[in-house]
Chains A and B, each alone.
Chain A
Amino acid sequence: METELFSFISQEIGFLHLTPGHVLMWIIASSLIYLAITKKFEPYLLLPIGFGIIVVNLPLVDLMGNDDILGIIYNIGIGKDLLPLLIFMGVGAMTDFGPLLANPITFIIGAAAQVGIPIIMLVAIILGFDLKEAASIGIIGCADGPIIIYATSKLAPNLLGVIGLAGYSYMALVPLIQPPVMKLLTTSKERRIIMKQKRKVSQTEKILFPLVTTVVIILMIPTSAPIIIMLMVGNLFREAKVVDRLHNVAEGALLNLCTIFLGICVGATMDAAVFLRTETLLIFFLGLVNFALCSACGIVMVKLLNLFRKDKINPLIGSAGVSAVPMAARTSHIVGQQEDSSNWLLMHAMGPNVAGVVASSVIAGIFLSLLL
């Protein structure tokens, strides 16, 4: 009897199986939950991610097995790419591409803001990561959560939790990371540039945009098809103005549902044994440099374009070329206002901001095409 009791206690009571790693992961998870609730840092993602981290680091509980609840959601939702792609449909349904259509040159700024991605990929390879892992680390710089998850789940599923967390954390920190880079690369005179009001975009153009973009991008980069299709069908629901129910579901209930499952599953991949390694710190460091570098590339591209343009573009909107919609555009606007309170950059910055969403889909598609 005593032996059975002792055996039960030693085998079935979780407290006896707690490790310092578990406790450390709880502390990390609690910090994320704290930041989500008190600082409002990406609360819709950091909150479920934090909870996922806590539950997966409870000893004697296996939630990620093939027949366990989180395992089932993970295998279908992330293993089969369902959740990031459905979220991308919601992103399309929420995004107004009008500012991009009014100023198409911002497509190029969006492209330039992705240049940091392959550069960081090179650095990661030099630091010892293999090519697919390095490409996934590079993708952090696109600042687009669903794309980060989609590409990493295919290229380096072993790093999914760390890269997902790094991506979402830095997206929340855009207002802190970007302003120093923006101020470093621009003069006060450049920050005061007031851009001309753009033309009004007709509704027909807005409806044609998702159709044209889908066809053109998929003809050029077929591997980007799943991402582009979902983004653009969501946007078509929005702009068609005749399928309000579909639009509302895509940008509301469906997006929220997928966000819940995605957040918890990403958190649940962060088992202490997987997360607490030196390479995690390295990935977080590279992610930070990546964000700053991509922002810098966008700004430099605007300065290059200005050499050939009569109507100058305010270089502050260049940093909005990393996706992070609409946080990056807001940051451009705020930094511009600090220099000149009469300068309204928000709508101008939304152009490169949404261009960044398309450009990051393109570069992710190219990576998948070359590496899978």
Chain B
Amino acid sequence: MVEWDAVIRVFFISILGTFFAMGILTLIIKLMGIIFAYYGDKNDSQE
């Protein structure tokens, strides 16, 4: 007997959870990129 409640739970949490985690990473890396594009260039020119 399939427990459809559990199946639906796994289905939605796996999709939403993956997008959530990857979305957070996108924002952090984007922010990191912006910071480094600014400060990183300065450091390069100092070198």
A: residues with CB less than 8 A from B are 100-102, 104-105, 107-108, 110-112, 114-115, 117-118, 121-122, 125, 130-131, 135, 199, 201-202, 204-205, 208-209, 212-213, 216-217, 220-221, 355, 358-359, 362-363, 366-367, 370-371
In the complex, A306 Cα to B32 Cα: how many Å?
23
Distance to closest chain B CB from A272 (angstroms): 30
CB distance from B46 to the nearest CB of A (A): 13
Contact B26 A363 (CB under 8 A): no
Chain B's nearest CB lies how many Å from the CB of A147?
13
Q: Mark B1-39, 1 if CB is under 8 A from A, else 0.
A: 011001101110111011111111110111011001100
Sorted nearest first, the 4 A-B pairs with minimum C-beta distance are: A111-B22, A104-B29, A107-B26, A202-B40
Contact of B13 among A101, A209, A366 (CB under 8 A): A366
Q: Which residues of chain A are near B36, meaning CB under 8 Å?
A: 201-202, 204-205
> Chain B, interface size: which category?
20 to 34
Instruction: Choose from A105, A199, A359 the contact partner of B37 (Cβ within 8 Å).
Output: A199
Q: A370 and B14: CB pair below 8 A?
A: yes
Q: Contact at A212–B32, with CB atoms within 8 Å?
A: yes
Q: Which of B7, B11, B29 contacts A101 (CB 8 A)?
A: B29
CB distance B18 to A359 under 8 Å? yes
Question: In the assembly, what is the distance between CA of A122 and CA of B10, in Å?
Answer: 10
Among A105, A205, A367, A371, the most chain B Cβ lie within 10 Å of the Cβ of A205
Complex contact A358–B25 (CB within 8 A): yes
Least distance between A99 CB and chain B CB atoms (Å): 12
Q: List 10 A-B contacts (CB under 8 A).
A: A110-B22, A111-B19, A118-B10, A121-B10, A121-B11, A122-B7, A201-B36, A205-B33, A212-B32, A216-B21
Inter-chain contacts of A121 with B (CB < 8 A) = 7, 10-11, 14
